[in-house]
Chains A and B, each alone.
Chain A
């Protein structure tokens, strides 16, 4: 005997699926939604089992995430490589597959045939034009799934894909914001002789990989880092965190900014070969009268002296991090007279679609005036961002050497030692 599906009641149940998901779309944080959806799908199709496997992009495996009538698949953490077995084939070929024979020749997952499933039908879950998982139903009695059944399952799968994507995006955004928050200094270090202020504005829609870091060195001196990791969301934020830690570690090992960025580049190319980033790494002398800067594909700072128009610091250019191993890197030393203001920033501040980058840089140059860093930040953000939502992340850091100090014992850390060597 084979199971039969009444098309009329299928239509009714199809509407039931639509209505529940529409209502539930507003409270997608509920992971139970996927299970609920599978349950309704199983009912609508009069199937015995239903399961959703979500694609883990990093491993290329489908992971059993929710199930109805087949809970063991989730409990045992079933993983199916894309391209293999029943679900793997659906994901790889982006099309529905119907199986009239369920055994080790057609299905990779022994749970399915051990369960006694006779017929199966699966469809890809597609969101945003890409496969994000596979949804399948099974029958314990031999059954011919029809084109109508496939359509219905596809509808449920599309709903589930949208729901899952929305949940993932929400979770991702929350994680990125938490991570971003923990990575950008909540308070800038207090350094005698220097004043600092900073702004960080995440891009609209996606959080990118911009960051900055400011820390004092044990031998005196101050480090400033600005960086921009290509990509967005959690992957970019994770790489950003790793780069920040690596830079802090290398900063303690060598005083040479070119060496620090060289080590970072080598580390990234070995452990994160797909990462790409621009980095500015600057070491201020303890007296704050000079700064040694090395650029890895990053914009040079803008410098403003009291009473003078600002200019882009003439810093030697260097290749981005993550492109080519062992590239030579140059350090440029810039004198900082008392009262001088340095403006460090990421591309989001100066890049605008439809205009040359030099136009953005010129706008920034005109907006930077030697004044208190807080006022300078406000003025630059006002002039370059205004009331427009930023498309890309923006990080901005202003550092001023106090105008009223000219002595050479500025940084409030251990007394200057012979280690403050700047052989750069």
Chain B
């Protein structure tokens, strides 16, 4: 189900979505899917790694904003890792730099996410997580 262009890796128990070089209307649904998958798997917070990303249009931002809202409604957060000039510039123009927690390395971002109690992140997924509205794959592209 997950889009090969948006691999989701679990690092220290935290889902990390790696975004490709370009995120636009043609692949934003793939990002949305990967974000939904991460939200369903993780301890509440997760990371989107945009270090490779050179281009992100409004559809990409839409996917990120939606995922951040859902994560925050669940008591978690969506953290970003960015590098270079392109993505920070887009975030500055859209004002999103004021609301997203953004870091320059994955280590820094992961350090912000409190360790999962008991050290077994997967056993801590609340049973309600996967029943969140918007988690079903059928909603992903809507």
Contacts and interface: CB of A to CB of B under 8 A. Distances in A.
A285 interface: no
B126 interface: no
B92 interface: yes
Contacts of B54: 353-354
B54 to A, nearest CB: 7
Interface in A208-248: 208, 228, 230-232, 235
A274 interface: yes
B4 interface: no
A41 interface: no
B25 A297 contact: no
A130 interface: yes
Interface in A243-277: 273-274, 276
Interface string B49-60: 000001101110
B112 interface: no
B58 A317 contact: no
B120 interface: no
Given A297-B94, A319-B95, A320-B96, A353 B138 contact: no
A23 interface: no
A347 B139 contact: no
Contacts of B74: none
A276 B65 contact: yes
A273 B69 CA distance: 10
A285 to B, nearest CB: 26
A110 to B, nearest CB: 25
Contact of B89 (A203, A235, A274, A356): A356
A206 B25 contact: yes
Given A208-B25, A347-B57, A358-B89, A131 B138 contact: yes
A236 B142 CA distance: 11
B58 A278 contact: yes
A82 interface: yes
A347 B25 CA distance: 13
What's the interface size class on B, roughly?
A: 20 to 34
A354 B93 CA distance: 18
Interface in B93-142: 93-96, 98-99, 136-142
A322 B93 CA distance: 15
Interface in A160-178: none
A186 interface: no
Contacts of A322: 65
Contacts of A284: none
Contact of A318 (B86, B95, B138, B139): B95
A230 B62 contact: yes
Given A228-B58, A353-B22, A353-B55, A323 B139 contact: no
Nearest to A318: B95
Contact of A230 (B61, B90, B138): B61
Nearest to B90: A357
Interface string A38-72: 00000000000000000101101000000000000
A317 B59 contact: no
B22 A276 contact: no
A60 B142 CA distance: 10
B138 A357 contact: no
Contacts of A273: 69
A358 B86 CA distance: 9
Given A57-B138, A230-B58, A347-B58, A392 B93 contact: no
25 contacts: A55-B138, A57-B138, A58-B142, A130-B137, A130-B138, A230-B61, A231-B59, A232-B25, A273-B69, A276-B66, A296-B95, A297-B93, A297-B95, A299-B93, A317-B95, A319-B99, A320-B61, A323-B65, A324-B99, A327-B95, A353-B22, A354-B55, A357-B86, A391-B25, A392-B25
Given A92-B136, A299-B93, 9 more contacts: A60-B136, A130-B140, A232-B25, A232-B59, A319-B98, A319-B99, A320-B94, A324-B99, A391-B25
Interface of B: 22, 24-25, 54-55, 57-59, 61-62, 65-66, 69, 85-86, 89-90, 92-96, 98-99, 136-142
Interface of A: 55, 57-58, 60, 82, 91-92, 130-131, 203, 206, 208, 228, 230-232, 235, 273-274, 276, 278, 296-297, 299, 317-320, 322-324, 327, 347, 351, 353-354, 356-358, 391-392
Q: List the 3 closest A-B pairs by CB distance, nearest first.
A: A319-B95, A230-B62, A297-B94
